[in-house]
Amino acid sequence: MDILTIKEFLKENLDKLYGDFSTYEPLLRVSASKVVIIGDLHGDVNTLLRIIERFPPSNWAYIMLGDYVDRGEHQIETLYLALRLFLEYRAVLLRGNHESPLTNYEYGFYMELLRKFGPYDGDSLYDKLKDLFSQMPISAILNDKYFLVHGGLPINNVSIDSIAKLPKPDEVPSNEVTFQLLWNDPSDDVKYYEPNIVRGPGTYVFGSALTENFLSSSGLKMIIRGHEYTPQGYKWNHGGKVLTIFSSRAGPYSGTKPHIAVINNDSLSIIDVS
| Catalytic residue set | 98
102 or 113: CB nearest Mn ion: 102
Q: Quick count: other Cβ atoms within 10 Å of Cβ 142? A: 22
Minimum gap (Å) between residue 12 Cβ and Mn ion: 29
Q: Which is nearer to Mn ion, 72 or 122 (CB)?
A: 72
Nearest distance in Å: CB 132, Mn ion: 18
Distance CA 149, CA 223 (A): 8
At 234, the amino acid letter reads Y
Nearest-10 crossing angle of helices 3-22, 109-117: 130
- Which residue has the closest beta carbon to Mn ion? 227
Nearer CB in complex with Mn ion: 8/171: 171
**Rounded least distance, CB 70 to Mn ion, Å:** 9
- Under DSSP, is residue 206 helix (H, G, I), strand (E, B) or coil? strand
Q: Within its chain, how far is the Cα of 177 from the centroid?
A: 16
Q: C-alpha angle 65/233/174, rounded to 5°?
A: 35
- Cβ 121 to Mn ion shortest distance, Å: 27
Between 6 and 182, whose beta carbon lies closer to Mn ion? 182
* Chain residues in the site for Mn ion (CB under 5 A): 67, 96-97, 227
Closest to Mn ion by CB, 67 or 170: 67
Q: What angle do CA 106, 112, 118 make, to 5 degrees?
A: 125
Strand segments, DSSP code E, in the chain are 27-30, 34-38, 61-64, 92-93, 139-142, 146-149, 185-186, 193-195, 204-206, 222-225, 234-237, 242-245, 259-264, 267-272
For residue 253, how many other CB atoms are within 10 A of its CB? 21
Smallest gap from Cβ 31 to Mn ion, in A, equals 26
